[in-house]
Amino acid sequence: MKKSLKKIVVYVLAVAMCIQMGATLIACGRGGDKIKIGVGLYQDSGPAVTATKNYLNGLAEALNCEFEFVTLSQTSDEENKTTAQSLIAGGCKGLIFTMDGGVTPAILEECKKAGVYLAGYLCDYDVNYETIKNNEYFLGTVVDGSYTGYAWGEHVAERIIAEGHKNIGMIKFPGFAFPHQAEMDQAFREKINEYNATAADADKITLTTTMELMFQPLADNYFQDNPNIDAIFAMCAGVDFVYPTLVKNGKTNIKLYTAGFSTDNDVLNNFGTSGNQCIQELVFSNVEAITYPLVMLVNKITGNEFSDNPTEAQRVDSSQLIITNNTQLDLVKTKSLYCTGNVKDAFLSVDDVKALLAVNGGTHAKLVQAVQSMDIDDLAALNG
């Protein structure tokens, strides 16, 4: 009896020491049970996938996590529900999902049944957000850049004006899939109209009617229909859907300002003042933005909460790398996690991420600030 009592006392003291050190019970004992998190991405390969996997695996030991990666369906909510069920059955206590169809009331119902939490990565969940934002099993999402598109639209318009282009092609994806590209379009047009209001007739800028590109390469006859354009503002992924058609038709004299990125040197060697000098701007979101849903999940699963935890799930903007010149491109190619796949190049180190956890004194405000402090100037400062 005395031996048993002694064991109980020793155990209680050990637990108390764990609590005093800011650890959770699950992290005490022989290393603790790892927190298994399922990560559903919208692609199964490519530099973004590689960088995301490398980053999370680089954080795994320090956060006592392990990750299972799957590819979500871009068209079927039911398939994504089945994927969620499979991850939950496999022992995942948290899910990080891209794709609007990856977070539906039906999927959250599966989470509720199992006591599993879900958060989003590079997606705004416009389709379901109003329905799910107060669901206790949805912890919010980090958006692919800014939730609204006004800022980038204005920025590109200012570049177009400064570069002296006069006839601009306008291309975007369909509104049902990318509703905020309409905001880019609107902001761009408003800035150009503001310029035209005081410009001499010879200096005024003409804009085409915006073409909606249905996730397929730009048609060859676009240039016959728009023979005078000298630049294109492609709100869509122009590297994949517009640039190849420019090359095919010998129209690389037309300057391309576009969302999207590529690590293919056949593309990047024609950026800015290099090669055919067609591509003038590239934009992409940082994989390190996944820190937001990861920290929110680890907090919840370990029974911790920020002192300023939001009362409803948030849609948090993230920084993007907007590349406008060759110096910036060289920096991104050699020093960004997206391009190198090397965790040492991440904006946020292992220690940085650990410090953001609630148990270590992190706050929601600090977490938001972290994912919004990863632009091209921040990358230059880190490598200055």
Task: Specify the DSSP class assigned to residue 27.
Answer: G
Q: Which of 21-25, 317-321, 340-344, 378-382 has the lowest mean pLDDT?
A: 21-25
Q: Is 316 helix (H, G, I), strand (E, B) or coil?
A: strand
Q: Are residues 210 and 268 both part of a single domain? A: yes
Provide the pLDDT for residue 263: 93
Q: Is 70 helix (H, G, I), strand (E, B) or coil?
A: strand
**Residues 170-215: pLDDT tens digits?**
999 998 888 899 999 999 999 999 999 999 999 999 999 999 999 9
Q: Are residues 261 and 280 both part of a single domain? A: yes
CATH of the domain at 279: 3.40.50.2300
Q: Are residues 251 and 220 both part of a single domain? A: yes
Domain hosting 217: range is: 150-285
Would you say residue 19 lies in a domain? no
Would you say residue 380 lies in a domain? no
The candidate with the shortest Cα–Cα distance to 168, out of 139, 201, 192, 144, is 192
Would you say residue 174 lies in a domain? yes
Q: Are residues 187 and 240 both part of a single domain? A: yes
Task: Specify the DSSP class assigned to residue 18.
Answer: H
Structure tokens that stand for 95 in this block: 């899910």
The candidate with the shortest Cα–Cα distance to 298, out of 100, 67, 107, 108, is 67
**Residues 238-296: pLDDT tens digits?**
999 999 999 999 999 999 999 999 999 999 999 999 999 999 999 999 999 999 999 99
Mean of per-residue pLDDT scores for the chain: 91
Angle between helices 364-371 and 291-301 (to 10 degrees): 160
Would you say residue 6 lies in a domain? no
Q: Is 133 helix (H, G, I), strand (E, B) or coil?
A: coil
Q: Count up the domains in the chain and report the number.
A: 2
Provide the pLDDT for residue 234: 98
Residue 20: pLDDT above 90?
no
Q: Which amino acid is at 383?
A: N
Residue 30: pLDDT above 70?
no
Strands (E), the chain: 35-41, 65-71, 94-97, 117-121, 138-142, 167-172, 206-207, 211-212, 231-237, 255-259, 279-285, 315-316, 320-323
Q: Are residues 184 and 246 both part of a single domain? A: yes
Provide the pLDDT for residue 384: 84
Per-residue pLDDT, averaged over 345-374, amounts to 98
Would you say residue 217 lies in a domain? yes
Task: Please report, to the nearest 10 degrees, the dihedral formed by the alpha carbons of residues 285, 324, 168, 162 taken in order.
Answer: 140
Provide the pLDDT for residue 288: 98
Provide the pLDDT for residue 179: 86
Would you say residue 53 lies in a domain? yes
Provide the pLDDT for residue 9: 34
Q: Write phi, then psi, for 23 (nearest 5 degrees).
A: -95, 160
Q: Which of 71-75, 218-222, 296-300 has the lowest mean pLDDT?
A: 71-75
Residues 6+ apart with CB under 8 A from 300: 94, 117, 139
**Residues 139-178: pLDDT tens digits?**
999 999 999 999 999 999 999 999 999 999 999 999 888 8
Would you say residue 70 lies in a domain? yes
Provide the pLDDT for residue 256: 98
Residue 237: pLDDT above 80?
yes
Q: Which of 27-36, 69-78, 95-104, 337-346 has the lowest mean pLDDT?
A: 27-36
Provide the pLDDT for residue 300: 98
244/355 Cα distance (integer angstroms): 44
Q: Are residues 108 and 175 both part of a single domain? A: no
* Contact predicate 114/88, CB 8 Å: yes
- pLDDT tier at 2 (50, 70, 90 boundaries)? very low
Structure tokens that stand for 290 in this block: 């996944």
* Contact predicate 374/286, CB 8 Å: yes
Provide the pLDDT for residue 32: 67
Provide the pLDDT for residue 31: 46
Provide the pLDDT for residue 102: 78
Residue 103's CB is within 10 A of a number of other CB atoms, namely 31
Q: Are residues 185 and 237 both part of a single domain? A: yes
Per-residue pLDDT, averaged over 61-71, amounts to 97
Structure tokens that stand for 310 in this block: 């939001």
Q: Are residues 159 and 276 both part of a single domain? A: yes
Provide the pLDDT for residue 78: 94
Q: Are residues 77 and 189 both part of a single domain? A: no
Q: Which of 100-109, 115-124, 264-273, 358-367 has the lowest mean pLDDT?
A: 100-109
